[in-house]
């Protein structure tokens, strides 16, 4: 993310005036799918997240900010640490915090989805994986062990891993902005598709 990433963690970036993490939390609450949310983070971000929860009026809900030093190594290490600390958790959804969901993916879940570990929010640059969606799990030698498919087809999101993706997320947000006219939304949708094509043509993942 260049200089932008050094000044602000991606999950605290605003997209069309709304912080990414706040948007995800509101989507979960709106779907009424889960009564428990755990936000796993580094110690340096914990207070900023707690302030964000207060700012959006959800600090009194069952939302825990968990300081997890596994994040200093990798997402996988952080996930393993959560399972070690929170031994009462059996089934859960892992939602990466730098993902911008264009529409609410949690509305598409059913009770039947809760009996398996499901990952939201990563697409590999592998051609097959770009079509399938999910997270590629590899061994230390780089061998692909498994691909966890996204739980529902049609969940559209942007993995913000560069300034270009951040720009794409801001344009995509206009397509679902109810304050805008249909004409403007259509223009934004057309521009969004052009930016996506440009990124893919230049080797970026979406």
Residue 11 · residue 26 · CB < 8 Å? no
Q: According to DSSP H, which parts of 62-120 are helical?
A: 75-85
Question: Would the pLDDT of 133 be above 90?
Answer: no
> For the chain, what is the mean pLDDT?
79
> Would you tell me how many other CB atoms lie within 10 Å of the CB of residue 65?
18
Q: Among residues 15, 37, 24, 22, which one has the least CA distance to residue 155? A: 24
- Please calculate the CA angle 84-90-92 and round it to the nearest 5 degrees: 100
Per-residue pLDDT reduced to its tens digit, 28-57: 899 887 778 999 999 999 999 999 999 999
173: left (phi over 0), alpha (psi -120 to 50) or beta: alpha
pTM for this model (two decimals): 0.77
pLDDT digits (tens, 9 = 90+) for 144-191: 555 555 444 556 788 888 888 899 999 999 999 999 999 999 999 999
Structural domains present in the chain: 3-159 (3.90.550.10)
- What is the share, in percent, of the chain residues with pLDDT greater than 70? 75
């Amino acid at each position: 993310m260049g200089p932008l990433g050094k000044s602000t963690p991606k999950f605290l970036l605003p997209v069309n005036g709304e912080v990414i993490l706040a948007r995800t939390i509101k989507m979960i609450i709106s779907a009424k799918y889960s009564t428990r949310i755990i936000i796993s983070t580094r110690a340096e971000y914990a207070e900023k997240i707690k302030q964000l929860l207060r700012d959006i009026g959800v600090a009194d809900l069952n939302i825990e900010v968990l300081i997890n030093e596994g994040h200093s190594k990798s997402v996988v290490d952080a996930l393993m640490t959560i399972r070690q600390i929170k031994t009462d958790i059996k089934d859960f959804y892992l939602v990466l915090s730098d993902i911008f969901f264009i529409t609410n993916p949690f509305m598409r879940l059913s009770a039947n989805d809760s009996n398996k570990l499901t990952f939201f929010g990563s697409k590999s640059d592998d051609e097959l994986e770009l079509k399938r969606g999910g997270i590629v799990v590899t061994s230390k030698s780089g061998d692909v062990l498994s691909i966890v498919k996204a739980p529902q087809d049609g969940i559209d999101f942007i993995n913000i891993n560069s300034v270009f993706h951040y720009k794409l997320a801001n344009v995509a947000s206009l397509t679902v902005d109810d304050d805008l006219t249909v004409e403007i939304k259509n223009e934004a949708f057309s521009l969004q598709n052009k930016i996506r094509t440009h990124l893919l043509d230049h080797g970026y993942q979406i």
